[in-house]
Structures are given as C-alpha cells and as structure tokens.
Amino acid sequence: MTYSQRVDRATPTCIIFLVDQSASMYEPMAGTTTPKSVAVAEQLNATIMELIQRCSKSHTEPPRPYFAVAAIGYRTDKSGTAIVQSLLTVPNSVGDLAWTTDLAQAPLRVEERTRETSDGSLQYRMPIWVEPFNDGGTPMCAAFDRAGRIAHSWVQAYPQSFPPIVINLTDGESTDGSPTVWADRITSLATSDGNLLLFNIMLAGGMNSNPVMFPNSRQLFRDHSGQTLFDMSSELPEIMRTAAVRQGYPAEAGARGMSMNADFRAVVSFLNVGTSVGHLLR
C-alpha cells in the first residue's frame, strides 16, 4: 500500500512550500484588504508551527526531526531574471531544507498574540519564519526545478519515507514557460511509498471568490489555467482525502490536491489537508 509509511526519525518526510512572490501578490486576498503575500506568509508560518508541534513530545526534549521543511520564494528582478530563493534562515539547514528540530529553535522572532476563544481571550506566542514579499513575475518553472533538485536528493537519502510533498501557492500563470513539463518531471520522483505529491493552490483576488477545492474532474474547468492547474496537481492519497472530507469538503475518489479561486479559509484548509500525515507520526 502506498502513502502509508509512518513518519519517524528513520523515515522522515520532506515538505517543500513554493511561494509566489510576484508583484500581483500585493493585491488583496478575496473579500479582504490583506495583501495575498501577507495572508500566505501568515498561513505558512502557522503551518510550519503546526508541523513542529506534531514533532514535540515533552518538556524534556526538543521537537524531533520528523520533517525537513523548505520554503522557496519565486519572483523576477527588474530585467525579468528569475529569483528563486529559500525564505528560511535557519542555522544547520542544509541547502534549502531545515529539520523541525532546528526550525523550532530559530524563528526570526516570536510574537505575543491574543486570540478570542469561547473562554475569553487567549494569549499565545506565534513564531515567525517567513516574511511577506512581492515583486516582479512568476517564474514557476524555475521554482519547480528548484523543488525537483531538493526532492531528488531527498528521495535518494530516504528511499523508504513517505514521499516528498510540494505545495505551490500562487496567484497567477507561469511567466517562464509551461510548468506542466516541470510538474511531470518532479512528480516522477518517488520513494518506495509513492510518487512525489505536488499540490497547487491558486489564490483569488477581487471582492468575492467561489473556491473550487479538491476537484476530481478536469471537465469542471473551461479555462486553460484551471485545466493546467488540474493536470499538474497530484491525486490526494487516501489519508489526505479522508482529511479533506473531515474538514467538510466532498473530495470524491480521484480528488486532486488543487484549489482554484482560493480565499483565506481555503488556504488554511488546503495547507491542513496537504500536510495531514499526522496519524502516520510516531
């Protein structure tokens, strides 16, 4: 059975976030006044925090190295040259990857925050690793290439692990060629537990959005960009499809790890589902 490997020290999992940092990410998220880049950075930090929390066992030991995380930003400079770079500055990271153990120790800062709950307001601390940024074009092919390089060496080092998960957060079409070729290349990488999983989320702008979450048919999309996104998104493995259903999405058999017209809530759910290997954790 594929996509069932337990996640532990011997078989850790690699999660790569690709973050579109093009100029249009400055536009507000659908139905809000928050720039998309800010909303994405916020949710990415929350997701990294969640991954670390799942590796935290007790007061007496630091979080375990169960996940290696990369966050790669992609944009272009004034001349249109691709800038694809790691957004994490974590000591002991190797190349673009940082273990949850090291990420836990080295956020850029930890913010004191307050959240309203049913029991009143709750003080909590929110670590920040990734800052929002937006400029230039959308060199998605270059970003997929970078993810491919990271994942390629990963699957050689951990051939028995749950395969790498690549989550691409974007608001537009690629400006450096057709990304489907690159998507095919990177999803051909595999461990004994299955092929690399590539999930794509296309953020919505404007006043309203009608998010399409985890579709299982290409026919749902009439436009080229929807079809392209569908083609290059992996089918959700059963554990994640179950997680999507538990979050209230239909996610029928064959559902893809894809969202079109995503609003903030859709981003939150999408990242939850795309990283839902929690009960595989040891």
Partner 1 sequence: MNRETERYGLAGGAAVIVALFAIWKGVGVAPAVLAILVTGAVFIGVEYVLDQRQMLPDTVPAPGGESRVAFPAAAAPPTVSEGGQEISSPNVLPNDGRTSATLDMALLDPNSVEVTHVASAGTRTIWSLSIAKHGQAIAECEDAVHIDATRWVMAVADGASSSFGAGRWAQVLVDEFVTAPPQPLSPGSFDSWLERSRAAMSGGESADRSGWWAEEGARRGAFATLVGAAVHGKADERVATVMCLGDSCAFLVGGDRRLRRSLPYEDASQFGSHPSLIGSLPGHGAVAPSWTTLPVAPGDVLVLASDAVSEWLLGDQRRIDRILELTPSEIADVVIAERAVGHIVNDDLTLAVMGLS
- Given the rule CB under 8 A, which residues bind partner 1? 6, 8-10, 12, 49, 52-54, 56-60, 62-65, 68, 72, 82-87, 89, 91-97, 99, 101, 104-105, 107, 110, 119, 124-125, 127, 139, 141-142, 145-146, 148-150, 152-154, 156-158, 185, 188, 239, 278-279, 281-282
Rounded to the nearest whole angstrom, what is the least distance from the CB of residue 104 to partner 1 in the complex? 5
Cβ nearer to partner 1, comparing 178 with 188? 188
Cβ nearer to partner 1, comparing 94 with 220? 94
28 DSSP assignment? B
C-alpha 99 chain-centroid distance: 16
Rounded to the nearest whole angstrom, what is the least distance from the CB of residue 142 to partner 1 in the complex? 4
Structure tokens at 51: 């991954």
Amino acid of residue 53: Q
Rounded to the nearest whole angstrom, what is the least distance from the CB of residue 62 to partner 1 in the complex? 7
Answer yes or no: are the C-beta atoms of 202 and 225 closer than 8 Å: yes
Answer yes or no: are the C-beta atoms of 183 and 141 closer than 8 Å: no
Rounded to the nearest whole angstrom, what is the least distance from the CB of residue 196 to partner 1 in the complex? 12
Q: How far apart are alpha carbons 19 and 143 in whole angstroms?
A: 9
- With a CB cutoff of 8 Å and minimum separation 6, the contacts of 99 are 12, 65, 67, 68, 69, 92, 93
Task: Return the ∠ at Cα 144 (arms to 138 and 150), rounded to 5°.
Answer: 135
Cβ nearer to partner 1, comparing 117 with 219? 117
Cβ nearer to partner 1, comparing 140 with 201? 140
Rounded to the nearest whole angstrom, what is the least distance from the CB of residue 187 to partner 1 in the complex? 12
Residue 201, beta-bridge partner list: 169, 259
Cβ nearer to partner 1, comparing 163 with 211? 163
Q: How far apart are alpha carbons 240 and 251 in whole angstroms?
A: 10
Rounded to the nearest whole angstrom, what is the least distance from the CB of residue 145 to partner 1 in the complex? 5
Cβ nearer to partner 1, comparing 52 with 204? 52
